Amino acid sequence: MKEQRYDLFFAGFESEAYKLFGCHKIKGGVSFSLYCPDVYKVEVISEFNDWQGLEMKMIDDRGIFYLEVKDIEPVYMYRYRIYKDKTTYHDKIDPYAYYAQKRPDNASLMYDLDYYKWQDEAYIKERRFSYKDPLNIYELHINGFKKEEGQELETYRHLKETVIPYVKEMGFTHIELMPIFEHPFDGSWGYQASGFFAATSRYGTPYDLMEFIDACHLEGIGVILDVVYVHFVPDDWGLRNFNFKALYEYQEAHLQKSEWGTYYFDLNSGPVRSFLRSSADFYLERYHIDGLRFDAVSHFIYHKGNRDLGENIEGLNFIKSLNVTIKERHPAVMLIAEDSTDYPKVTVETKWDGMGFDYKWDLGWMNDTLRYYKMDHEYRKYHHNLITFSMAYFYNEKFLLPLSHDEVVHSKGTIIDKMFGTYEEKFHLCRNLFVLMYTHPGKKLNFMGNEIAQFREFDEKKDMDWSLLDYPLHDSFHRFFKDMSLIYMNHPCLYRDDYDWHYFKWIDVDNNAQSIFSYYREDEKECLVVILNMMPISYHAYDVGVPYGGTYTEIMNSEKDIYSGCNMCNFEPIKAKRRKRHGFTHAITIDLAPFAGIIFKTKVQKPRKPAKSKAKKKKA
């Protein structure tokens, strides 16, 4: 049986290599297993024997070593001592270790994951994937949310008490954790990993992390994990030069190094492909993760993410195969691509020659939209298309709209700080932006801090600036964000048919002279009309064409006084009148405040059936 599994491993199709390799509890002790070909010998060194070497036995001539140690419990630190010859050796971490020392130390730690008893059986049983469900993601860096007073690092257990009730109150459906693979440098935010099966010990034990995810599920909150399968850290004790030559990295020197100073995984190698696909399966299976967000997908598509270097055929084949396998083994899990290219069919099933992702980040929407909101009001009329262009390509993929951590670092300014204008005008515009975001087709993702209009850029060493909520503008913005999020969650026409073009229509797409946009979202029961005024100009009798007769009720106005707006609102329901406007047979006349984002709701009216003629039939 194991021989067959080893064959799968070397072919690159083993999804549970974490069961074949690493340190495991066995009857009466522990076992160690390592893939390390073309070396003189391998020893296990550990604190249980004062770091003296215990030689492993080669059990497969392709380079698989094995050792059993009796009468010990899986609680010790260990490393592998790998010999190039009789005298030359180096010490390496266990690539398949479930746990590791906290930086700056780096030894692997024995750990038995089987003791934890999950409580989320009902959640897992009911879990499903559907494009018709709402998806409102809160992107989280664990150490940057709200630490206990006096603590250097957040903990998984404390996070359970702080973030779960907050996320639930704010109307988010999922938490997306920035990478939690073990990593040596805090400033990499986990994107430069060393341990692909070891959840970082910075914040606690694997059981602590399981307890946090379990608690999320018990409150109906999904957990998405940001994963980095393109590259790994270059540190000497890690995967690089593992057997004194390239084993995990490309052998060709010109392909090895990434733009980040890390090393690319060799996706031509069957054992490397099995290693990565097993890491993905491990977190889905053992940690009950609900979705994976793949970082730097452009590097799977093109060599080094550069179109000029040509398609990365082995990268494309790997990611397609991985996505198919994940969906076969975990059909309710979602797969999300962070891809900056215009490569086609990223969210098309592989049987139709696609890459097999469920969602793709719409970085085009993000870049165009933020560029527009940064712009001086006077120039917006010349760049009207920055807001409208997204809908010209939106239905080519299953897009997710991200305002992520990438937009609030490296001197780019935070979302609120990107807005043009005075301090007060920034808040008006930022509220307008989130009305656009939450009513635009596509699922949603926001990085922590967006919801309190934080001006300070993200710093992995610091909490969010919660003290901002002592200031009226920030406190009212926080209330607005919550209300906007809950409107999204409670109106199915804003999410149920995101990817069906029949349910989104522009009302006035070309009004660049006034820089006003209007459109509507609908389903079979409800229609929401959205008007966005991008200028510091008010209108007391602005006509908007509407798709139905009947009454229109304002359910959101970003300029309400409770949001620190000017309170120029439409407090009474408005009856649509029969007159032609914007190509429709009915129109409403509204008050439109400067920078207002407004949502009106009405019932969808089905076409009337032709009245039956009452005229009597003439006798023949």
Residue 230 CA to residue 526 CA, distance in Å, equals 44
Instruction: Report pLDDT digits (tens) over 282-321.
Output: 999 999 999 999 999 999 999 999 999 999 999 999 999 9
Residues 482 and 537 in one domain: no
Q: Please check whether residues 148 and 27 belong to one and the same domain.
A: no
CA distance 451 to 170: 9
**At 568, which amino acid appears?**
M
CATH number at residue 402: 3.20.20.80
Q: What is the C-alpha R_g of the chain?
A: 28
Q: Is residue 366 part of a domain?
A: yes
Instruction: Give, in order, the Cα–Cα distances in Å from 191 to each of 55, 225, 338, 362, 395.
Output: 34, 12, 13, 20, 30
Average pLDDT, the chain: 96
489 and 538 share one domain: no
pTM of the model: 0.95
Q: What percent of the chain has pLDDT over 90?
A: 95
Report whether pLDDT(615) > 80.
no
Give residue 61's pLDDT: 95
Q: Residue 610's pLDDT band (boundaries 50, 70, 90)?
A: low
CB 159 within 8 A of CB 145: yes
In a domain, 149, yes or no: yes
Query: Is 88 in the same domain as 175?
Result: no
For residue 458, pLDDT beyond 60:
yes
What is the rounded average pLDDT of the residues 374-401? 97
Examine residue 480 and state whether it is found in any structural domain, yes or no: yes
Of 135, 134, 139, 180, nearest to 156 by C-alpha is 180
Q: Which amino acid, 253? A: A
What average pLDDT score do residues 55-71 get?
97
- Residues 105, 39 share a domain: yes
Q: Which residue has the tokens 């260990």?
A: 78
Q: Do residues 262 and 325 both lie within one domain?
A: yes
Q: Which of 139, 176, 182, 295 is catalytic?
A: 295
pLDDT digits (tens, 9 = 90+) for 322-350: 999 999 999 999 999 999 999 999 999 99
Number of domains in the chain: 3
What span, in angstroms and rounded, lies between the C-alpha atoms of 390 and 163? Answer: 32
Same domain, 355 and 461: yes
Question: Does some domain include residue 587?
Answer: yes
Tracing tokens 């301090």 back to the chain, one arrives at 423
552 within some domain: yes
Q: Provide the pLDDT confidence category of residue 513 given band limits of 50, 70 and 90.
A: very high
- Candidates 141, 200, 138; CA nearest to 458 is 141
pLDDT for res 609: 60
Report whether 465 contacts 454 (CB < 8 A).
yes
> What number is the average pLDDT over the span 398-412?
96
Are the beta carbons of 190 and 180 closer than 8 angstroms?
yes
Residues 357 and 214 grouped into a single domain: yes
* C-alpha dist (Å) from residue 390 to 403, 416, 441: 15, 22, 10
Per-residue CA distances from 388 to 397, 529, 563 (Å): 17, 16, 27
Residues 6+ away with beta carbon under 8 Å from 201: 99, 100, 101, 102, 109, 182
617 is a domain residue: no
Half-sphere exposure (CA, 13 Å, Cβ side) for 124? 14
Q: State the Cα–Cα distance between residues 298 and 295, nearest whole angstrom.
A: 9
Q: Does residue 396 share a domain with residue 247?
A: yes
Residue 14 has pLDDT above 70, yes or no: yes
Residue-wise pLDDT tens digits, 107-148:
999 999 999 999 999 999 999 999 999 999 999 999 999 998
Residue 619 pLDDT level (bands cut at 50, 70, 90): very low
> End of a domain among 435, 459, 494?
494
Looking at this protein, which amino acid is placed at residue 585?
Answer: T
Which of 14, 214, 226, 338 is an active site residue? 338
Question: What CATH number does residue 547 fall under?
Answer: 2.60.40.1180
Return the structure tokens found at 539.
């209108």
Q: Does the bond joining 104 to the residue before it have cis omega, within 30 degrees of 0? A: yes
208 with 338, same domain: the answer is: yes
- Host domain of residue 588: 502-603
Domain membership flag for residue 8: no
Give per-residue pLDDT as tens, 80-113: 999 999 999 999 999 999 999 999 999 999 999 9
Q: What is the mean pLDDT of residues 425-448?
A: 98
Same-domain status, 192 and 286: yes
Q: Is residue 607 over pLDDT 80?
A: no
Q: Answer yes or no: 259 catalytic.
A: no
- Which of the listed residues 113, 129, 159 is the one where a domain comes to its end? 113
Structure confidence at residue 150 as a pLDDT band (50, 70, 90): confident
Residue 295: active-site member = yes
DSSP helix/strand/coil, 289: coil
Measured in degrees and rounded to the nearest 5, phi and psi for residue 261 equal: 85, 5
Task: State residue 112's pLDDT score.
Answer: 94
Strands 195-199 and 222-227: unpaired
pLDDT band at 521 (very low <50, low <70, confident <90, very high): very high
Burial call 373-408: b when 16+ CB within 10 Å, e when fewer: beeebeebeeebebbeebbeebeebbbbbbbbbbbb
pLDDT tens digits, 230-288:
999 999 999 999 999 999 999 998 899 999 999 999 999 999 999 999 999 999 999 99
φ and ψ at residue 157, rounded to 5 degrees = -70, -45
| Helix spans in 150-243 (H) | 156-169, 206-218
What are the phi and psi torsion angles at 419 (to 5°)?
A: -65, 140
Q: How much is the average pLDDT of 353-362?
A: 98
Same domain, 392 and 511: no
CB-based contacts of 236-239 (< 8 A; 24+ apart in sequence): 236/90, 237/79, 237/91, 237/92, 237/93, 237/106, 238/92, 238/93, 238/106, 238/194, 239/92, 239/95, 239/194, 239/263
- How far apart CA 145 and CA 577 sit, in angstroms, is 50
Whole-Å CA distances, 174 to 119, 154, 206, 225, 442:
18, 20, 20, 10, 15
Where does a domain end: 462, 494, 526? 494
- Specify if 9 maps to a domain: no
